[in-house]
Structure 1
């Protein structure tokens, strides 16, 4: 992440903050508090202290400044930046509305709304210069305007003076622009601030916790406890086994009945059992038996002795049709007839 530095303008030191000069703009000599004043020079500019900055994209500077959502305060000797953080009084002497910032020939101007004390300080010539406090990065590019302060330390002779500069590497203020990598990771816009990043991270944490809560207490319409699932599965398996056993008994009873009635040859029992166990097979078998002729005598062979001259050597047309329907060969069918009469 790029480092951003707050440029003020002063020749004094405040506690641990190293202070040097940046910009100084001179106020009007007319004796009246001016309404419009330049805040940041166009293009490259330097102070008398030798440091150089670049205002190569003033529209972006305005966008970042407006993105903060606070009007720009105008104080005395940058009290907003030096005293305010310590809890000391830092009253504003004027304000610049965000809507009253504009670009003129590459320079950034602001319309100043003075209050009574500020107007008295300027028109009474208590302060001759003003100093915009602005953020700049490692490349010397101006990032955004923070505040403006009345001062008597001149540093930038090419513009009206008043710039109180502190090379104060206070990195990471809440509304400071973010690096490209950070913005990309959080899907934020180009001029997003750290405050927006914190908000985005907070949402990610909230979404993560919500996902954990859902994992611990899943939707009952979509998930069931494992114990309930296994119990239901066992019941279904038991029911399926019982049903299959019942169906097997029913199938065997139907086939045996058909054999007893002489509608099916005993030798073809296994075949009919197999076909009956197929889906819809039992219904088809019942329909077949109902319309099938009797092919085996139920009286033949009683007494345990085979009658003379009763050996079959040829099938009738009905028996041949039954062989074709049941998939039994003529020889098997003849043999079953002989066995039944034996």
Structure 2
């Protein structure tokens, strides 16, 4: 039985020159050098996918066609093209039409190993498609297994589910039902607002209305008090009090500037010019003339009545 690590990592190209048929994948479960495992459980299905595609698969150098940095830096030459696949007792074999350059390099043993590139399902690691192969030097550059393939494949839904699983922080291999349950729980939690951060809309509106009402009442009371004081000091007339109250409520600073720049022009209207009555607690002695006394005597009046 062949060494599965050697078989999957980089199969040595044997024979004189470049062989027409090369061994690409062994049957069953295989283990890569980095510890990953893959399963060629249905080799016939892999061959059928290749045949349905109707195109040759590339054999490149060092898997350059699978690496974006290599593709973006310039042309990626092919070493050959896989024309057909065949299932044999020990796995999948491919017939390769090599370029002259690749034939010469293989014949000169400048390249000795061939490494397949595959597409596989994430959950069960089953290989579903052969993407090509690469001539490699170092077996560490083994098996380019593409989990993020841009092609539309039969396993597209599974690949998407694995992405969701990774985003949720679930372990690799988590089944689809568990992934969906976790996603549903996350969405349900998202729809429930955190009571520490959110308040009911009606309660918040009621609170704002109450606050605005109290603020308006306080503002009106403060403005009325300042306007009354200004009126008593002679800065305003009665007709000006309504205007002054509105101004003070809208812009108290503007009202204050009005008072600062005014000279109380109406002070004389509200200030007393003489004493209107005898101060409480004082006594007044009335002096009556002789003529007044004579009149009282003739009329029979008490002189004190005239004084009171």
TM-score after normalising by structure 1: 0.40
Q: With CA pairs under 8 Å and 6+ residues apart, which has the higher RCO, 1 or 2?
A: 1
- Counting helix residues as a fraction of each chain, which structure ranks higher? 2
